[in-house]
Amino acid sequence: MRRAAPYFVLLLAIALPLVMRSLDQVYYVTMASRILIYALAATSLNLVLGYGGMISFGHAAFVGAGAYTASVMIVEGVPSAWIAWPLAMAVSGLLALVVGAISLRTRGVYFIMITLAFAQMIYYLTISMKAYGGDEGLTLTQRSDAGLGLDLKDDITFYYVVLALLALTVFFLSRLVNARFGRVIEAIRENEARMEAIGYPAFRFKLTAFAIAGALGGLAGALLANQNSYVNPGILHWTESGKLMIMVILGGVGHLYGGVFGAVGLLGLEELLANHKIGWLAALYPNYQQHSLLAVGVVMLLVVLYAPQGIAGLFKRRERK
């Protein structure tokens, strides 16, 4: 039953556009795509933050690098998704390799600050890229071209492509965390000194995890740029990194589906608060729609205090103490 649950959710996700189309609510398909892209980004962050125990506060830089790579490719006349998206992953992965090679020499708060600093540097770099819109951003005249008869301009097709990539990513991650590599990075999170003492070069493993997460973040970025047909430096801003961290914490640090739960939870909550009138809440606090972040804050507080394993933890069977 429990093993079947993810497949059941996947089936629901596959059915969603068909239902929405019959209800004439295709807007929700676009929104769902956005949530799934964030789910992919948060899932990639969860690899370093949750499994690896590296509190990276700069993940938006890798998402942004991927978004810009895919966008620049379109603008420069290489719209093929088969070239642009892997390239976005490669650029973000390499960037993560460089950032990680320096940042991972530090620990704790210093690591948090240095990843944040790198991300902000890259953020300002994109602002200074006048050829590609500077702080105005870059409007894309088309989405990437996937070939194979897939028209990414069609929101429902795009949704399915995003869903497939997210499912592939989660599947890849489920293999990775249960393979040798996954056990090593979790053990490094638990006790890095001892890992060195039984013969592991911890740094190399951490850096590899960091680069893989960066590459997957880059894929999410490429999708996000396509979804919006627009990219601007805001996508790399530190608040975006913070948002991804909130998703991971909300969804479940170090849980396979933590990123997915977190993205659905946070963006779903934002949508609910911003676009739907909730009678009892309005009676309690008339301005709640202007202050929707306040509600997010309250939810985060409750999660940290009462469900430290996040939404995924709520679904987990009560196991050993």
Q: Is 105 in the site for another protein (CB under 8 A)?
A: no
**Per rule CB under 8 A, is residue 318 in the interface with another protein?**
no
CB 194 → another protein: shortest distance, Å?
Answer: 5
Q: How far is CA 153 from CA 145, 159, 164, 188, in A?
A: 9, 10, 16, 43
- Is 184 or 248 the residue whose CB approaches another protein more closely? 184
Nearer to another protein, 94 or 125 (CB): 94
Complex with another protein: residue 60 or 202, whichever CB lies closer: 202
Min dist. Cβ of residue 208 to another protein (A)? 7
Q: Which residue do the tokens 């603008």 mark?
A: 75
CA 62 to chain centre: 10
Give the whole-angstrom CA distance, residue 253 versus residue 262. 10
Interaction of residue 178 with another protein, rule CB under 8 A: yes
Does the protein bind another protein through residue 181 (CB under 8 A)?
Answer: yes
Q: How many residues bind another protein (CB under 8 A)?
A: 26
Single out the residue of 52, 58, 133, 182 in contact with another protein (rule: CB under 8 A).
182
In sign, the C-alpha dihedral spanning 142, 144, 145, 150 is negative
Of 157 and 309, CB closest to another protein = 309
Interacting residues of 159 by C-beta distance below 8 A, sequence separation 6+: 16, 17, 29, 30, 32, 33, 36
> Of 176, 281, 299, 307, which lies in the binding site for another protein, with binding defined by CB under 8 A?
176
Is 3 a binding residue for another protein by CB under 8 A? The answer is: no
Binding another protein (rule: CB under 8 A), the pick from 1, 23, 198, 283 is 198
Nearest to another protein of 53, 234 (CB atom): 53
> CB of residue 175 vs another protein: minimum separation in angstroms?
5
> If we measure between CA atoms, which residue out of 232, 231, 230, 224 comes closest to residue 127?
232
- Are 84 and 225 in contact, with CB atoms under 8 Å apart? no
Tell me: does residue 201 bind another protein (CB under 8 A): yes
In this structure, what DSSP letter does residue 232 have?
-
Compare residues 217 and 254 and give the one whose CB is closer to another protein: 254
SS3 80: strand
Instruction: Report the nearest approach of another protein to the CB of residue 53 (Å).
Output: 12
DSSP string, 234-300: GGGSHHHHHHHHHHHHHH-TT-TTHHHHHHHHHHHHHHHHHHS--HHHHHH-TTTTTTHHHHHHHHH
β partners of residue 11:
none
Among 105, 153, 183, 291, binds another protein (CB under 8 A): 183
Does 309 bind another protein (CB under 8 A)? Our answer is no
- The residue ranges that bind another protein (CB under 8 A) are 172, 175-176, 178-184, 187, 190-191, 193-202, 205, 208, 320
